[in-house]
């Protein structure tokens, strides 16, 4: 797409005659290849040879979405009219028919083609998109157990991708999709009947553990914190957690944020802390809730404890704006629940606001608005 | 008529920055005009798959710079029409396939050139054909939109669909309430929105979701203070904006973040002057164009979003841009 992080280079005029000639040759070669593919597709020559030509093009330019479409037309044609599978691949198979085996071979080989491209271009939408399409095709052409094996391999692939780039949002989206598919094609279900939800096997526990692992290796990985915040309510529901277990979970998460706030500039941590605090609100939707039976008394208890913990940070970090921001924000919410609370005074709140205005002039408009809305 | 949207080649040596912080209007105009004349560069051919959007970005930049006629109108129109496919969608270039992204660009160019009536004259029933192509991509159950017949869904396509249909005056062809429901399902507890339900908040997706809600007249569903807070934290001390917590700054977020802030009346929650400084530092003062970060290669994508960011923050001499 657009160029990101590419350093500026010499202008066109500066290129030598030789370099220029070389570029013109490259252009001719590329344009010829495009024309050749287009002609074959227009004439519906959906052959393996044309597929190889699209591979050549896509390796040079994975952003050309039309070539991906061409590739799918060719594959679709072969899924419908499978060629005889080679004797070698047939021997590997357990219970696949010859035509299923050849579909599987095509899909497996295409998935393999994509791996180096994904590694080289991890932010290219079209490559991820093509991968998902291939796997969807497997569902319509192959037995459930084979489909499941394919998705299982995807889980380890996306694990590797996220190890290379821990924040890649394509990777995280893909991981959620793979998990949803694996839950759908659970091993106990030979027929993969998606309407029978009772047979689905949840992966919420293992995914929760995965976020812990990712967070432990990098406390600033907000993508992992985000996923964790989405998993916890489901995890508690599936565990059929009682009131005590839910409180225990919330406390454990608050304790975890305490560890993370060893670095008070860790923005991810503050956003996660804020998301935990928002589950205390009476307006928190059920699908995001952790503790279900909070009374106002409970709420005040949490506000007091967390305010006290954050206040303590002031001993060491008087110039970290995040501390003041959290204090002011939570104090304001606390005041709404209990106007007469003793945990923080208006004088204190005014002081925190002044500190924010001092430390964070970029967002002065925001602090001024808060000053007005809180009547400070 | 066609126009490269890929990187132009910046002329200054690495690390050298514009000496004077001002907008090099003439240079940018010349840069955009030159994009169509670079057929001797491989990059021109490698970016054909986004030509129509490139044309939209270039044309928008020229409009904001107050030089809407710097590209010849009739050639632009001819090129747009040459991208229309039998299914009613626009492709990025004549030899390509229809896609929502380029259909939106096609409609946006027609609207910008005030050429929708002319389009109907040249292509019988053209407007309705295009609107039906878009409407057919809505998923009836979830309300979201696919990009094309191959089925990828993303809130980018949902926003694009509502944008183009509203320009065509045909939002009645789709289920707007369902689309709004889908946007709501993409909302996160940090106030932002992701590409799909469950996905992490991302400034680009915030723009598409808030933009879609604005077009649907449902900005009442946005938690403005919370979202405004998250968006304002995208500004880094160098004045530039990032797209997610703890990521690098990039000029294109000058559009995604700032237009979102404008839509929810929180534009003053970041420093406009610091942002302007950052954008101006990303210019190539010799050959025109704007890059993602100072010293990098320029391209028309970052050029338009940089200029739009300047316009939103009221940089003098620019035409005011509509944040939606």
Question: CA B10: distance to chain centroid?
Answer: 22
pLDDT of residue B74: 96
- Phi and psi at residue B185, in whole multiples of 5°? -70, -20
DSSP string, A314-337: TTT-TT-HHHHHHHHHHHHHHHHH
**Is B13 a member of any domain?**
no
**Is B2 a member of any domain?**
no
**Is B37 a member of any domain?**
yes
Tell which of B233, B284, B288, B301 to mutate to test the A interface (max A CBs under 10 Å).
B233
Is the pLDDT assigned to residue A190 strictly greater than 70? no
Total domains in chain B come to 2
Range of the domain at B290: 21-71+223-323
* Shortest Cα distance, chain B CAs vs residue A168, angstroms: 11
Average pLDDT over residues A280-300: 94
Confidence of residue A2 (pLDDT cuts 50, 70, 90): low
**Is B32 a member of any domain?**
yes
pLDDT of residue A90: 52
* Same domain, yes or no: B232 and B298: yes
Q: Greatest CA span in chain B, whole angstroms?
A: 55
Confidence of residue A15 (pLDDT cuts 50, 70, 90): low
* Same domain, yes or no: B78 and B213: yes
pLDDT of residue B137: 98
Q: Which residues of A touch B96 (CB under 8 A)?
A: 65-66
* Same domain, yes or no: B233 and B218: no
Treating both helix axes as pointing N-terminal to C-terminal, what angle do B224-232 and A364-373 enclose, rounded to 10 degrees? Answer: 150
* Same domain, yes or no: B56 and B86: no
B275, closest residue in chain A (CA to CA)? A362
- Cross-chain residue pair A27–B45, CB shorter than 8 Å: yes
User: How do residues A92-139 score in pLDDT, each as one tens digit?
Assistant: 556 899 999 999 999 999 999 999 999 999 999 999 999 999 999 999
Confidence of residue A340 (pLDDT cuts 50, 70, 90): confident
Contact B53, B92 (CB under 8 A): yes
Is the pLDDT assigned to residue A87 strictly greater than 60? no
- CATH label of the domain that carries residue B153: 1.50.10.20
pLDDT of residue A13: 54
- pLDDT over 90 percentage in chain A: 81
Nearest to A363 among B12, B232, B284 (CB): B232
pLDDT of residue B16: 57
Contact A162, B200 (CB under 8 A): no
The C-alpha angle B124, B128, B131, rounded to 5 degrees, equals 140
Question: CA B320: distance to chain centroid?
Answer: 15
- Cross-chain residue pair A361–B271, CB shorter than 8 Å: yes
* Same domain, yes or no: B64 and B122: no
* Same domain, yes or no: B214 and B112: yes
User: How do residues A210-244 score in pLDDT, each as one tens digit?
Assistant: 999 999 999 999 999 999 999 999 999 999 999 99
* Same domain, yes or no: B179 and B82: yes
Average pLDDT over residues A279-301: 94
Is the pLDDT assigned to residue A280 strictly greater than 80? yes
Confidence of residue A83 (pLDDT cuts 50, 70, 90): low
Q: Which residues of A touch B27 (CB under 8 A)?
A: none
Look at residues B161, B196, B222 and tell me which one is the last residue of a structural domain: B222
Contact B4, B45 (CB under 8 A): no
* Shortest Cα distance, chain A CAs vs residue B216, angstroms: 23
Contact A79, A106 (CB under 8 A): yes
* Shortest Cα distance, chain B CAs vs residue A87, angstroms: 33
For residue A8, which of B23, B290, B10, B216 has the smallest C-alpha distance? B10
* Same domain, yes or no: B195 and B108: yes
**Is B82 a member of any domain?**
yes
* Shortest Cα distance, chain B CAs vs residue A278, angstroms: 7
- Cα distance between residue A140 and residue A264, in whole Å: 51
Residue B291 bridge partners (DSSP): B298
* Shortest Cα distance, chain A CAs vs residue B40, angstroms: 6
pLDDT tens by residue, chain B, 324 residues:
333 444 444 334 445 566 678 999 999 999 999 998 889 899 899 999 999 999 999 999 999 999 999 999 999 999 999 999 999 999 999 999 999 999 999 999 999 999 999 999 999 999 999 999 999 999 999 999 999 999 999 999 999 999 999 999 999 999 999 999 999 999 999 999 999 999 999 999 999 999 999 999 999 999 999 999 999 999 999 999 999 999 999 999 999 999 999 999 999 999 999 999 999 999 999 999 999 999 899 999 999 999 999 999 999 999 999 887
**Is B34 a member of any domain?**
yes
- Which residues of chain B form beta strands (DSSP E)? 290-291, 298-299
**Is B174 a member of any domain?**
yes
* Same domain, yes or no: B114 and B99: yes
- Cα distance between residue B64 and residue B62, in whole Å: 5
The C-alpha angle B31, B237, A373, rounded to 5 degrees, equals 115
pLDDT of residue A339: 78
Is the pLDDT assigned to residue A330 strictly greater than 80? yes
- Cross-chain residue pair B246–A72, CB shorter than 8 Å: no
For residue B106, which of B125, B124, B126 has the smallest C-alpha distance? B126
- Cross-chain residue pair B49–A61, CB shorter than 8 Å: yes
Treating both helix axes as pointing N-terminal to C-terminal, what angle do B73-82 and B51-64 enclose, rounded to 10 degrees? Answer: 150
Look at residues B222, B249, B282 and tell me which one is the last residue of a structural domain: B222
* Same domain, yes or no: B227 and B266: yes
* Same domain, yes or no: B192 and B298: no
Look at residues B198, B222, B246 and tell me which one is the last residue of a structural domain: B222
Q: What does the mean pLDDT of chain A come to? A: 91
In this prediction the ipTM stands at 0.93
* Same domain, yes or no: B43 and B76: no
Burial class (CB in 10 A: 0-12, 13-18, 19+), A311: middle
**Is B78 a member of any domain?**
yes
Q: Which residues of B touch A57 (CB under 8 A)?
A: none
- Cross-chain residue pair A366–B48, CB shorter than 8 Å: no
Confidence of residue A166 (pLDDT cuts 50, 70, 90): very high
């Amino acid at each position: 797409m657009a160029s990101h992080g590419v350093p500026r280079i010499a202008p066109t005029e500066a290129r030598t005659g030789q370099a220029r000639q070389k570029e013109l040759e490259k252009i001719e070669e590329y344009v010829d290849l495009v024309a050749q593919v287009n002609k074959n597709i227009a004439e519906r020559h959906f052959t393996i040879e044309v597929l190889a030509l699209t591979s050549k093009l896509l390796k040079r330019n994975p952003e050309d979405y039309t070539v991906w479409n061409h590739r799918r037309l060719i594959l679709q044609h072969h899924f419908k009219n499978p060629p005889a599978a080679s004797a070698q691949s047939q021997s590997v198979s357990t219970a696949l028919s010859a035509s299923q085996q050849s579909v599987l071979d095509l899909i497996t080989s295409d998935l393999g083609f994509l791996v180096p491209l994904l590694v080289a271009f991890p932010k290219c939408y079209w490559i991820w998109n093509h991968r998902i399409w291939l796997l969807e095709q497997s569902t319509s052409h192959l037995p459930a157990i084979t489909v499941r094996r394919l998705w299982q391999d995807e889980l380890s692939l996306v694990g590797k991708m996220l190890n290379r780039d821990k924040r890649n949002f394509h990777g995280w989206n893909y991981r959620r999709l793979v998990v949803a598919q694996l839950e759908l094609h659970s091993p106990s279900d030979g027929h993969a009947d998606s309407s029978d939800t009772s047979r689905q096997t949840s992966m919420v526990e293992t995914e929760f553990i995965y976020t812990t692992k990712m967070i432990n290796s990098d406390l600033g990985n907000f993508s992992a914190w985000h996923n964790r915040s989405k998993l916890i309510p489901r995890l508690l529901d599936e565990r059929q957690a009682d009131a005590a277990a839910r409180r225990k979970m919330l406390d454990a998460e608050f304790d975890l944020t305490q560890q993370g706030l060893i670095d008070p500039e860790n923005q991810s941590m503050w956003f996660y802390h804020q998301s935990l605090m928002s589950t205390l609100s009476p307006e928190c939707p059920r699908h995001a809730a952790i503790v279900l039976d909070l009374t106002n008394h409970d709420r005040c208890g949490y506000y007091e404890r967390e305010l006290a913990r954050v206040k303590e940070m002031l001993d060491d970090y008087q110039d970290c704006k995040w501390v003041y921001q959290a204090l002011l924000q939570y104090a304001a919410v606390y005041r709404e629940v209990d106007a007469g609370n003793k945990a923080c005074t208006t004088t204190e709140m005014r002081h925190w606001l002044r500190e924010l205005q001092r430390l964070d002039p970029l967002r002065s408009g925001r602090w001024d608005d808060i000053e007005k809305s809180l009547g400070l | 008529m066609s126009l490269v949207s890929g990187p132009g080649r910046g002329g200054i040596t690495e690390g050298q920055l514009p000496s004077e912080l001002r907008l090099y209007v003439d240079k940018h105009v010349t840069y955009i005009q030159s994009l169509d004349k670079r057929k001797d560069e491989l990059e021109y051919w490698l970016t054909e798959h986004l030509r129509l959007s490139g044309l939209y970005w270039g044309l928008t930049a020229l409009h904001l710079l107050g030089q809407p006629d710097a590209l010849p109108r009739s050639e632009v129109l001819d090129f747009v029409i040459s991208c229309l496919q039998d299914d009613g969608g626009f492709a990025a270039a004549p030899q390509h396939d229809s896609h929502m992204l380029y259909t939106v660009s096609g409609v946006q160019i027609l609207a910008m050139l005030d050429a929708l009536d002319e389009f109907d004259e040249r292509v019988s029933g053209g407007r309705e054909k295009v609107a039906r192509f878009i409407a057919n991509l809505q998923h009836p159950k979830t309300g979201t939109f696919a990009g094309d017949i191959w089925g990828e869904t993303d809130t980018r396509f949902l926003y694009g669909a509502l944008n183009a249909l509203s320009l065509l005056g045909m939002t009645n062809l789709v289920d707007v309430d369902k689309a709004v429901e889908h946007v709501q399902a993409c909302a996160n507890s940090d106030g932002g929105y992701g590409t799909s339900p469950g996905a992490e908040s991302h400034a680009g997706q915030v723009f598409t979701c808030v933009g879609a809600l604005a077009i649907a007249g449902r900005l009442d569903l946005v938690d403005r203070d919370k979202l405004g807070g998250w968006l304002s934290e995208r500004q880094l001390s160098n004045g530039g904006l990032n797209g997610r917590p703890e990521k690098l700054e990039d000029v294109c977020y000058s559009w995604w973040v700032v237009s979102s802030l404008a839509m929810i009346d929180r534009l003053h929650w970041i420093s406009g002057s610091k942002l302007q400084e950052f954008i101006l530092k990303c210019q190539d003062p010799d050959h025109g164009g704007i890059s993602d970060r100072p010293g990098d290669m320029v391209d028309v994508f970052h050029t338009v979003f940089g200029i739009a960011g300047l316009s939103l923050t009221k940089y003098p001499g620019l035409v005011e841009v509509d944040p939606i």
